[in-house]
Structure 1
Amino acid sequence: MSGLTEELAGLLDRERIRECVALLARGEDRRDAGLIRAAFWPEATVDYGLFQGDLDAYLDWVVPGSPAIPVTQHFLGQSVIKLLDGTALVETQVLSYHRIDTGEEERDAVIGGRYLDRAEKRDGGWRIARRTMLYDWQQDFGLSADWSKGVMGAPFSGDHYTGRAVGDHSTAFFGGRT
C-alpha cells in the first residue's frame, strides 16, 4: 500500500470510529437499543462506574432508562484516536446533560468526562469492544426550566420542538433511520 493510500485509509478509519461513537451517544439519548447495540461488538463490556457489565446487561440498564431521568443529551468533543493493527485506542471528551426528576421537582445536571474506548475493526467495520467512563466534574444547575411554555417567553408553535428520550422528532426527520 502506498503512503498516500495508507494515510487515506487511516483518515477513513478515524472517521468511522467517530461516527460509531456519535451514533452510540444518539442511541443512548433516545434509549434506542438497536443504535446502541450497533456501536458495540456482541461480547463488549462497559464500565461507567455506576454500572459495569456486558452489553446485554448494559442494554437492560440503559434502555428504557430510569423514569427519574426523562431527558439526556450527550455533547461529544474531540477524540484522540491511536490506530493500531486492527484496533484503536480512543479518548473522547463528553459533556452529558441530565434532567433529573426527584419526585418533587426536576433538576438539571451536567457531567464532564471522557470515554476511553477500545475499538476493533472486523470485516471492515469498527465497533467498541470495551468502554470505560472517566468523570472529571459534575454540576447541578438547580430547577429545570418548564419547556412546555416555550423559550424566553415565546410559546412553541408545535409539540415537537423539545427533546425527548423516546419519540424525538429527529427520528422522524431521519426517516426512522440514522
Structure 2
Amino acid sequence: MTTDSDELADLIDREKIRNCIMGLARGEDRRDAQLITAAFWANAMTDFGIFKGNFSQYLDWVVPGSAAVLLTQHKLSQIYIKLAGNVAQCETYVTSYHRVNTGEAHHDITIGGRYLDQMEKREGEWRISTRTMLYDWCQNFGISANWEQGLMGQPFSSEHYTGACANDFSYAFFGIRE
C-alpha cells in the first residue's frame, strides 16, 4: 500500500528527473559545459549513433561542438519515466533544430527522435548514467533565413534577438552571467 508520503516522494523524483533532462537540453543548445556536466554522472556512457563514448569524450565532442553546426534548439515533449528505487528508465521525445553551414550556405535541419536514458539517484541527486539516441525522422528545410536582414523586412534593434550558442541572451536575462 502506498502512502501519501510515498506518492509525494515519487512526484518529487519524477520532477527532478525532468529538470535534469531539460537542463541538459538547455546546456547543449548553449554548449555550456557546466549545465551539461550537471546532468551526467562522471562515469556515464553515451551513444548517439554518430558518436559513442564516455562522458568525458562526449563533453569534448559537444563543447564547443562542430564548427559547422551554428545553432541548435532541442524541444522536449513527453517524458515517460519508469521508476524502480534509485534507478529510472526514461524515454524523452525530442525535436531538434540545427542550423548547419554546408560551406555554400546555411541550412535549417530538423531531426525527430527519442532519448533513452538510464538515470541513477545518488545522494539524493538524479543524473544520467547512460544515454542512447534513437532517430525517427529528419527534414532538411533548405537555405536558412539571413538574420542580418532582420525579420519579415524589419531590422533587429540589437544582436541579442537571434540565437547564439554560448552568448545566448537568456544568461543575462536570468542573471547567470554578467
Number of the residue aligned with 1:23: 23
Tell me the secondary structure at the aligned position of residue 160 of structure 2. coil
**1:2 to partner: Cα distance:** 6.0
Letter in 2 for 1:51: F
**CA RMSD, Structure 1 to Structure 2 (Å):** 1.2
Runs of 4+ in 1 over 4 A off after TM superposition: none
Number of the residue aligned with 1:78: 78
**1:87 to partner: Cα distance:** 0.5
Number of the residue aligned with 1:42: 42
Percent identical: 60
Letter in 1 for 2:23: L
Q: Which runs of 5+ in 1 are unaligned?
A: none
Tell me the secondary structure at the aligned position of residue 120 of structure 1. strand
Number of the residue aligned with 2:105: 105
In the alignment, structure 1 residue 133 sits paired with structure 2 residue 133:
yes
Distance, in Å, in 1 between the alignment partners of 2:61 and 2:78 is: 27
Number of the residue aligned with 2:148: 148
Distance, in Å, in 1 between the alignment partners of 2:72 and 2:80 is: 24
Number of the residue aligned with 1:8: 8
Tell me the secondary structure at the aligned position of residue 112 of structure 1. strand
Letter in 2 for 1:172: A
Q: Which runs of 5+ in 2 are unaligned?
A: none
Any idea what the Cα deviations from partners look like across 1:104-129, whole Å, max 9, x if unmatched?
10000000000000000010110000
Give the TM-score normalised by structure 2.
0.97
**1:151 to partner: Cα distance:** 1.4
